Chain A
Amino acid sequence: MQIVPQLDRYPRLVALAQTNIGKVAAIAAFGLLLQLNGSRVSLELTATAGLITLFPQHRKLLLGVASACWLLFYSGRAGLGLIQRVAAAEGFQTGPALLCACVLAFAGMFWALGLFLRMVRRQRKNLIGQRPVLVMIASFLCLLMAAGVAPLHGVAKLTLWILLALACPYLWLFAYAIADYTSKTPDPYPGNFGTFFPFWMGSATPIGKGAAFLRKVEAHTPDDLAVSQLKAIKLLIWLLALNVLLVAIRAAVYGSAPVVIWTCCKALGFRLPSLLAPTLEAALDQSAAGTRVPLHLAWASVLMHFVEATLAMTIKGNTIVACCRMAGFRIFRNTYKPFYSTTVAEFWNRFYYYFKELLAEFFFFPAYVRYFKKYRKLRLIAATIAAATLGNMIYHFCLNIEYVFDLGLGKALAGFQVYTCYALVLGAAIAISQLRGRRGPAGSLPLHRRAMAVAGVLAFYCLLEIFDYDGRSHTLRTHLAFFWNLFSFA
């Protein structure tokens, strides 16, 4: 049963979307749906998508300009809070001079990337030429360690933290840019800036991967563009339905509904029934403080956290996918029917596709083609651990570098124990799942076995979510105690 009509499969609608009226209607629908889905930058995204739709022949230029504006006015501010804190701690002014220094450093970073890319292509024989992504990630980690342990002060410390804070959100975009530049048919840099650093990027994980992938899925005819845009609109309609579901579930479990709904209910004299369960974070806080959370509420918070995390991931990731499709790149969904998964590895693939692809590209395959080649099973286990455990940990440690500034390197590493445990269990489970092999095409299992397999996979990920925590406030002991309490029915 299709909840959202397959708009892109109606030939008359596809033809209409290629006319001027159809294009305007598609842009309007896109903007309205973005707004309804809660996007805070719907106007800017709609304007960009609108220009690309009306002037597809200038797509490359428009993408480049949009990306530059996006980096300068929105995304580039990501590390500014941390930089201001470092500056204040070192006794510097946090006003316009610091902002100017950041803008200069930001431009310098992209210029340095260009130099690095040229160096990679020229020096194919040494480590930089053969393992450029590894060199880049290792350099970032070394700088981060130096910032955490070296007794630096004043300008040196501020400069180092400016570099780290500005580079941190783009680390994996740089990695894809390097991977594309070392391929056989690279896009010129910075000529194709718009596909190296696309304007729709709202996450540290490059959704739509890199320029090489985008080049392959780009719409080249008006018909392709219309189909891609109708797919974007269809996806946003589906996300709207999920958003409504998320609001309803939050109201029913946490008792937190938007003000509009509360006001309406109050006016009608209707009281929303709610379980008033704590969020998982609140339940863990209570547990850490020594207060035992009632069993039914603890289970409700765990189940709800899993459902909420899945819905939130679907909505956030697929909104970015919709923007990418609207710009004429027909990429896969980020989250696709995760609750249909019959194996742990399949869920991992369906839940957060572009994160999985990132780990596969930069950790799994490099390990798989190099180590334990004579031992097929060991090879698979090692590569899976390299990606789902090691790569996953590196990604999340580099994502939250402010902990290194706040706590120092030692405490930031020690506080990472909960996520380390999560990544280890996840890596081991995916490795076992891959060793057991695939279950065959969908529908090949009898219904009851399929239902059992799906339930097992969901139960595993639901409980594992308790440890999916990259903050530093709780210890592993707190999470383990909460986990065990779920099964103490006495």
Chain B
Amino acid sequence: MNDRLAIRGYLQKLLRQKGDPGGFTDSDSLIVTGRLESVDTLEVVVFLEEQFQIDFADRGFDQNDLDSVDSIMSLVESR
């Protein structure tokens, strides 16, 4: 549960920095809807590498894995 909250909090902070105060559910797409752009994805990558020790070089990188809180959670759980 803490992991989910941490991911949610981070995405919320990222959106606020972009001037997007809108809410989102755990299943809401953030990249496909354009709320997060490629440059934001980089920050999510660094966050996941640092917080959850995910190595994208090993597992392969797919932007769809970072599209929502749910998809990031499945990534974290499958590490």
Contacts and interface: CB of A to CB of B under 8 A. Distances in A.
A130 B58 CA distance: 9
B18 to A, nearest CB: 6
Interface string A220-231: 000000000000
Contacts of A349: 37-39
Nearest to A183: B62
A441 B19 contact: yes
Contacts of B49: 373
B22 interface: no
B42 A368 contact: yes
Interface string B50-61: 000000110011
A24 B56 CA distance: 48
Interface in A356-374: 356-357, 360-361, 364-366, 368-370, 373
Given A183-B64, A212-B64, A366-B61, A444 B42 contact: no
Interface in B25-61: 29, 32, 34, 37-39, 41-42, 45-46, 49, 56-57, 60-61
Contacts of B61: 365-366, 369
Per DSSP, chain A at the interface is helix
Interface residues of A, number: 32
A217 interface: yes
A442 B34 contact: no
B19 A444 contact: yes
Interface in A174-209: 179, 182-184
A-B CB proximity, top 5 nearest: A441-B19, A369-B56, A370-B57, A216-B32, A360-B38
Interface of B: 17-20, 29, 32, 34, 37-39, 41-42, 45-46, 49, 56-57, 60-64, 67
Interface of A: 130, 179, 182-184, 212-213, 216-217, 332, 345, 349, 356-357, 360-361, 364-366, 368-370, 373, 376, 380, 434, 438, 440-444
7 contacts: A130-B60, A332-B34, A345-B39, A349-B39, A368-B42, A368-B45, A376-B46
